A and B are shown apart, each in its own frame.
Chain A
Amino acid sequence: MGEAATKAAGFAHRWRLGSADWPGTVPAGQLLRRTEGLAYWLVVAPLAARLPARFAYRVACWRGDWSFQYWPEKRSEIVRNLRQVLGDELGPEEAERLARDLFRFISCEVIDVMRLRGRASSLGRLVEIRGREHLDAALAGGKGAILCTAHFGSHLSAFSLLHASGFPLTTLGRWWWNYTPGLSSAERRFWDLAYARRVLRHRQRPNIEPFPGRIQVAAQAAAVLRANEVVMICGDAPPLDADRPRTIEVSLLGRKTKLLPGVVTLAQLTGAPVLMAFVHRSADYRRQVLEISPPVPVQDETAMALGRCVAAMDTAIRTRPAHWFFWFETSDLARLGLLPAAPTGTAISPQPAVGEPTVPLEKGEA
């Protein structure tokens, strides 16, 4: 069930709060960004989130613009990734604009997370949920429902809102900091407190984490569905090396990629319908729309069914490229087969995870 996760762990290596050599050998620019990242998560965003929305998200955009300007290597990497994958669809100026938006969205997501406090009403006022009737109809069938999404927009916050609005929702995926080697316990604790704690307050059950060797994961998800509840799974996670024999080749962004068919297989085994769900941010950066589709047919051949789910992701990404967080990490795109494999010795994110650290704390390691 490795595909049922959220974001790539490569971020952990690159944006970690500290490391064994910290701070002695950390260049000044990296140190500055680390400090800024900490300050943003711990001070600026919690305070800004209490401001009226237009001010809160303006602060986030300023912060995104700052990161865009003072992290030129990451900015170039994103632009390069966008242009390599989307090709002629994207001119250099448009790629720059999308990269800037990606930085802004990343900062806006922290505000989203902070506005989940209480009953999440301060975020709820900003997010329109479209297609609730599809989810209602799916649950009326009595076999639960699977919401399939991508690492797209502030999806974890949006699904928190969906739960807060009355749908019993559980996520399936890994928190990146729980398995990334070399992270200090302080770093793990930080992400638990700053991120997971806030998001998981709005879940029906504890997150189902598909660590290697946890054979009960699919059964746990099936139990959620048997209880006529909702399971959220990200279908675009790059597969682990160990899972590659079970992948299925599908087309994504005009290229062949291999993804695990767990979403489809789980649906086939349990009879639960699969609905695609994507959240996107409006031009004012504060309002968002979570769109839930009607059920996708999944009871026929697995590859075809998975192809339908991936086609929906493809459309969402092409329509709003800056919302897809994988542009941020070349290694994730390489693992998906969208870019050439990284040279030997280049850090590759080991696994997908449930909680994407979509806030550039720091590029911690080369």
Chain B
Amino acid sequence: MASVISGGAARGKLVSNERIWPAAGETRLPYWVYSDPGLYALEQARIFCGPTWNYVALEAEIPKPGDFKRTFIGDKSVVVVRDGAGGINVLENRCAHRGAQFCQRHLGNAQEFICPYHQWTYRLDGTLQAVPFRRGVKGQGGMPKDFALDQHGLRALKVARRNGVVFASFADAVEPFEDYLGKEILALFDRVFDGRGLTVLGYSRQLTPANWKLVIENIKDPYHASLLHVFLLSFGLNRADQPNRLVIDPSGRHAAGMTWRGEQKRTADNVEMRSLIEDLKLADPSMLEPVKEYAQYTIVLMTIWPNLVLQQQSNTLAMRQVIPKGPNAFELAWTFFGYETDDEAMTRRRLRQANLMGPAGFVSIDDGEVMGFVQQGASQAPGAAGVLEMDGSGWSEETPHAVTEGEIRAMYRHYRKVMGL
């Protein structure tokens, strides 16, 4: 373990050589996990390009043949496209010729993908269709006779679709999506994605100056919600003195937190929540008039490793896609959606409640800001470690309360295994 480390260049070098996890296991979280550039590069290879299922799109974003969406898996830009046969292909956004990112729009429609540089042309499944001047001009130049188009397609990823949601993997050996999620998490996934058609309500994107893992940890940390979020806890939307249930998949990488809405009042159980404001009232309460939508739970927040937070907060539904941007920043791409069966009142409700979330969210502003504070503090002391002892040292697949950091410990147990730490 590094003891006291100072100085920019020296720090970076030293830390790369000092990736030794504290002997206390997952109750200590070494701060170099958030800032070490070498570790970040390894995460790209082992996690985002490894045997994981990464969220890339809702099918409702690309309803027609030729519709495409440009997005990211880790550092890598990919294009999600619906082909003429109804299949969905996920292709690396990198021309097989010279590496240009041929797709430069978030959403669009194409009959084929043409790289603008030398107009190499690809079918929607990524196979190379044509190379200009392949036979030369006036008998001169051209590609070698044995140049095989079928050897030079775009890199096509493995694709999993479930009830309108698209995931992709760079690893051919990844397990089936349903096994990857596990029984409990899959059931909670199906609770929101029950086969009904989805409608996209819109996007929000924010660039947060913090390591990508911090946003996953934030969702796996029910401890903070009752303390940091004055808005959330004062209105009884999510608090430790409400009924809570946490579920962790057997591998430790995915988790879900479920709560039932409570009341806005002081009780013996929330006396330690000093930021609870009892007389907080909305000048226009129409922003927060949720209706019961699901048979069970008013809020379910899920993390699907490694890049998705699935949010059902009362009547707001959103995919929060985590896109790392180097060790010190991540983009959080929010896609808000509803169901095709929603009436106008429900859509209005979803849009109003969306005020709680996103870069201007009454609740999520706090998270983005605090993650930045953690990144700043952790970066100044990579050799030090955070403390994760709330509710002991291990974790259970089932926890009936929110006063725990077990989900974070479980995630790092899995992370250490994958990363060889």
Q: Do A and B come from one complex?
A: no
Chain B interface residues toward A at CB < 8 A: none
Chain A residues within 8 Å of B, Cβ to Cβ: none
